C-alpha cells in the first residue's frame, strides 16, 4: 500500500521540521523512526497483535521488523517526546494515573502528559523513558520477563536494565498490501513450507490456486513455472483420474486450479484435465433429492455449500474456456438451487449444508457460515452477473460481500478459523473472489476492509515471515513445519488479491 508508505515519509519529514526549535536528547533525532529494544531481554517494544485500536497493550516481542515495533519519536519540549507507533498511528500512552505496575498501551493523541515521555541518555544508544505525567515512574519491562508477550508497565525509577531501552534508527518501509510485501510473504511461505513437496489433495489444490493468484496479478513467469511443477507433482501424487476420491468438493477444487491454469497460461493439458474430471464428478454427484444440487461425499446424503459454490464457479470458468453454454446452464442451475436451501439472497448469508433428518424425514439446514462458502458464492454471483447482465446477481454479490465483512467480522480483522483441520485455509478462498467481485463489478465497498486486514496481518508475521490464519493475532515464534502450510497460505492470498485493488 504505497500511499501509506509515502504518508509515513511525509509525517517523518514534518515532525523533524516542526521540532527543530527545541533542545533534543543526545542521539535522538526528532521525527525519525526508531525500533526500541529492551536492554534486559533484547526484545522489541511492540503493540500487542499489531492492533490499530485505542487501549491495545504494549509488550515486548522478538524482532519481526514489523511496523508495530517501530515508533516515530517527536520532540515536544526539552528532552520530552511523543512516540507514535508506525503501524497504528497511535501514541505510547500511560493507561492510568502513574504508579507502580500501571499498564502501558497505545491511544490517540490526548494532548496531555500521559502521551509524553522524558527521554534521558543512559549509555551509547541506550535511554530511559520517564512519564511526563510523573517523572518518578519510568517505562519498565515487567518482572524482567524474557518471554514474548512480557508486559510493559511503569515502575519507580531504578535505572536498572529493565528500564533501559536501545534505540535504533530505522528507514520507513512499505506497508501491506504492496507488491513487495506480497512477494516477501509468498517466498517466506512457499520456501519455508516447501510447498512443492506437499502431497495433500484439497489443501494442495488451494495452495496451487494461491500460486495462480500471484501469477494472475503480476504476470511474473516465475509463478507460471512454479504452477507447472506443482501440477506435475499433483498428477504424480494423485493419478490422472481423481474419481477414487469420494469427496466431490475435493475434485472440484482441483478442477478449479486446472481450468484457471488453462485460462491464465493457454496450456491445453490443464483444460483437458479440468473438463474430464468436472464432467465425471458432476455425473456422479448430481441427484434429484431435495430438488437437485450435488452430493458432497459419495454414499452420503448431505448437499453442502463447499461443493455447490465451487462447482458453479468451475462451470462458469469451463464455459469461458470451451464456449460450451451447457456449463453456464449448470452454473445457473446450481446457484438457483442453492438459493432455496443455502444462500439467503436477502442477507448474503451462505449456510453450510442441507441434509435429511433420518429420524423425522424432514430436511435440516446447518446455520453456520464459513468464509470459503461466502467466497465461492460471491464468485458465482459475480460471474453470472457478468454473463447474464442481470442486476439480481450483482445485488446478491454485494450482499454476500457485505455479510462477510459486516455480519461475520463486524468490519474488524479476520481472526478465526484456526481450530485445525481444513478451517485454517478457508479465508484465502474468500479473498480470491473478493478481488474478482471488486474488479468485475467496480464495487469498492470491500477495499478499505481488505487493506486493514492486509496491514494488520503483515505486521503480525513472525521472524520467519510466517503469518498464521488468525490475522489479528501475532504469529508465534515457531519455525515452519512441513504439512502445515495451508493456514499460512491465506495471508499470501490476502496480499496478492488485495494490493491491486483501488478505490
pLDDT tens-digit profile of 322-356?
A: 999 999 999 999 999 999 999 999 999 999 999 99
Sign of torsion over alpha carbons 80, 83, 89, 93: negative
pTM to 2 decimal places: 0.94
C-alpha cell at 47: 503493540
Location of C-alpha cell 439446514: 365
Residue-level pLDDT at 480: 87
**pLDDT per residue over 367-383, tens digit each?**
999 999 999 999 999 99
Distance CA 48, CA 178 (A): 23
Distance CA 247, CA 298 (A): 7
pLDDT category of residue 176 using cuts at 50, 70 and 90? very high
Sign of torsion over alpha carbons 366, 337, 423, 65: negative
Residue 22: pLDDT above 80? no
Residue-level pLDDT at 7: 52
For 478, residues 6+ apart whose C-beta sits below 8 A from its C-beta are: 462
Residue 16: pLDDT above 50? no
The per-residue pLDDT of the chain, averaged, comes to 95
Strands (E), 314-379: 353-356, 363-365
**pLDDT per residue over 87-101, tens digit each?**
999 999 999 999 999
Q: What percent of the chain has pLDDT over 90?
A: 92
Give, for 393, the enclosing helix (H) or strand (E): helix 391-402
Distance CA 189, CA 20 (A): 43
C-alpha cell at 290: 431435495
Residue-level pLDDT at 5: 53
Could you please report the per-residue DSSP string of 428-459?
Answer: HHHHHHHHHHHHHH---TTHHHHHHHHHHHHH
C-alpha cell at 400: 454476500
pLDDT category of residue 484 using cuts at 50, 70 and 90? confident
List domains and CATH numbers for the chain: 2-170 (2.80.10.50), 179-498 (1.50.10.20)
DSSP type of residue 395: H
**pLDDT per residue over 106-160, tens digit each?**
999 999 999 999 999 999 999 999 999 999 999 999 999 999 999 999 999 998 9
Residue-level pLDDT at 500: 97
Amino acid at each position: 500500500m504505497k500511499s501509506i508508505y509515502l504518508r509515513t515519509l511525509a509525517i517523518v519529514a514534518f515532525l523533524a521540521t516542526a521540532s527543530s526549535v527545541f533542545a533534543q536528547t543526545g542521539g535522538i533525532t526528532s521525527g525519525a523512526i526508531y525500533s526500541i529494544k529492551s536492554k534486559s531481554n533484547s526484545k522489541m517494544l511492540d503493540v500487542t497483535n499489531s492492533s490499530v485500536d485505542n487501549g491495545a497493550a504494549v509488550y515486548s516481542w522478538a524482532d519481526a521488523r514489523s511496523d508495530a515495533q517501530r515508533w516515530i519519536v517527536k520532540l515536544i519540549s526539552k528532552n520530552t517526546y511523543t512516540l507514535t507507533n508506525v503501524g497504528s498511528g497511535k501514541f505510547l500512552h500511560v493507561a492510568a494515573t502513574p504508579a507502580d505496575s500501571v499498564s502501558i498501551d497505545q491511544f490517540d493523541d490526548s494532548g496531555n502528559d500521559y502521551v509524553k515521555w522524558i527521554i534521558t541518555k543512559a549509555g551509547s544508544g541506550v535511554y530511559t523513558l520517564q512519564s511526563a505525567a510523573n517523572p518518578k515512574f519510568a517505562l519498565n519491562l515487567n518482572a524482567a520477563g524474557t518471554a514474548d508477550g512480557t508486559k510493559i508497565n511503569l515502575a519507580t525509577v531504578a535505572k536498572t536494565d529493565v528500564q533501559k531501552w536501545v534505540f535504533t534508527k530505522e528507514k520507513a518501509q512499505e506497508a501491506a498490501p504492496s507488491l513487495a510485501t506480497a512477494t516477501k510473504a509468498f517466498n517466506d511461505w512457499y520456501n519455508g513450507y516447501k510447498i512443492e513437496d506437499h502431497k495433500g489433495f484439497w489443501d494442495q489444490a488451494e495452495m496451487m490456486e494461491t500460486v495462480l493468484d500471484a501469477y494472475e496479478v503480476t504476470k511474473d513467469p516465475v509463478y507460471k513455472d512454479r504452477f507447472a511443477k506443482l501440477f506435475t507433482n499433483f498428477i504424480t501424487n494423485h493419478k490422472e483420474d481423481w474419481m477414487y476420491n469420494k469427496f466431490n468438493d475435493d475434485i472440484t477444487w482441483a478442477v478449479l486450479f486446472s481450468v484457471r491454469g488453462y485460462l491464465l497460461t493457454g496450456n491445453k493439458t490443464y483444460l483437458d484435465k479440468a473438463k474430464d474430471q468436472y464432467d465425471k464428478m458432476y455425473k456422479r454427484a448430481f441427484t434429484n433429492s431435495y430438488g437437485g444440487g450435488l452430493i458432497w461425499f459419495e454414499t452420503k446424503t448431505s448437499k453442502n455449500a463447499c461443493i455447490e459454490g465451487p462447482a458453479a464457479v468451475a462451470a462458469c470458468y469451463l464455459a469461458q474456456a470451451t464456449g460450451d453454454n451447457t456449463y453456464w446452464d449448470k452454473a445457473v442451475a446450481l446457484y438457483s438451487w442453492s438459493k432455496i436451501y443455502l444462500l439467503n439472497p436477502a442477507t448474503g448469508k451462505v449456510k453450510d449444508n442441507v441434509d435429511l433428518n433420518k429420524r423425522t424425514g424432514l430436511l435440516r439446514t446447518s446455520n453456520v457460515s464459513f468464509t470459503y462458502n461466502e467466497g465461492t458464492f460471491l464468485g458465482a454471483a459475480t460471474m453470472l452477473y457478468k454473463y447474464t447482465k442481470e442486476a439480481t446477481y450483482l445485488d446478491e454479490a454485494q450482499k454476500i460481500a457485505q455479510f462477510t465483512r459486516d455480519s461475520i467480522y463486524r468490519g474488524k480483522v479476520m481472526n478465526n478459523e484456526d481450530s485445525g483441520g481444513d478451517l485454517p485455509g478457508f479465508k484465502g478462498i474468500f479473498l480470491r473472489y473478493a478481488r474478482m467481485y471488486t474488479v468485475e463489478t467496480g464495487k469498492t465497498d470491500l477495499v478499505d476492509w481488505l487493506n486493514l486486514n492486509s496491514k494488520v496481518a503483515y505486521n503480525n508475521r513472525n521472524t520467519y515471515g510466517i503469518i498464521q490464519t488468525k490475522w489479528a493475532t501475532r504469529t508465534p515464534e515457531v519455525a515452519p513445519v512441513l504439512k502445515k502450510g495451508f493456514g499460512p497460505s491465506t495471508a499470501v492470498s490476502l496480499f496478492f488479491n488485495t494490493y491491486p485493488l483501488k478505490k
